[in-house]
Amino acid sequence: KNQVEQSPQSLIILEGKNCTLQCNYTVSPFSNLRWYKQDTGRGPVSLTIMTFSENTKSNGRYTATLDADTKQSSLHITASQLSDSASYICVVSGNTGTASKLTFGTGTRLQVTL
């Protein structure tokens, strides 16, 4: 069964600190992996997308890594800001690259405090 597991489930950090969120998946075959940010009361917004051959991709203070051999990805947030408080969802796409083959993680809820 295709699964995406994220850790930690929740995280509280001080503003300005860095953090790393983890995503392990068992989806096979693999097409791509996205990290989404979901603010409270809003829909998910894509941060990064990585395909099989990509190891790292950055979007501002967000840097995602992918190890397709171990089926692990991480999202590193640098110099966190209060606006980073949100849920971060890892989504893995199966081989066909179609929506029905998307497997979502349950997300990591990040809270950035003063």
Partner 1 sequence: EAGVTQFPSHSVIEKGQTVTLRCDPISGHDNLYWYRRVMGKEIKFLLHFVKESKQDESGMPNNRFLAERTGGTYSTLKVQPAELEDSGVYFCASSPGAGTVFGQYFGPGTRLTVT
Q: Are 103 and 25 in contact (CB under 8 A)?
A: yes
Q: Check residue 89 for interaction with partner 1 (CB under 8 A).
A: yes
Applying CB under 8 A, which part among 56-64, 65-73, 74-82, 99-107 lies near partner 1? 99-107
Distance between CA 15 and CA 84 in Å, rounded?
A: 9
Minimum Å distance from CB 90 to partner 1? Answer: 10
Minimum Å distance from CB 38 to partner 1? Answer: 8
Gyration radius of the chain over CA positions: 13
Per-residue tokens: 55? 């190891």
Applying CB under 8 A, which part among 15-23, 63-71, 77-85, 89-97 lies near partner 1? 89-97
Q: Check residue 20 for interaction with partner 1 (CB under 8 A).
A: no
Q: In the window 23-62, what residues touch partner 1 (CB under 8 A)?
A: 31-32, 34, 41-46, 49, 51
Beta strands in the chain (DSSP E): 4-7, 10-14, 19-25, 32-38, 45-51, 56-59, 62-67, 72-77, 86-93, 102-104, 108-113
Applying CB under 8 A, which part among 54-62, 63-71, 76-84, 97-105 lies near partner 1? 97-105
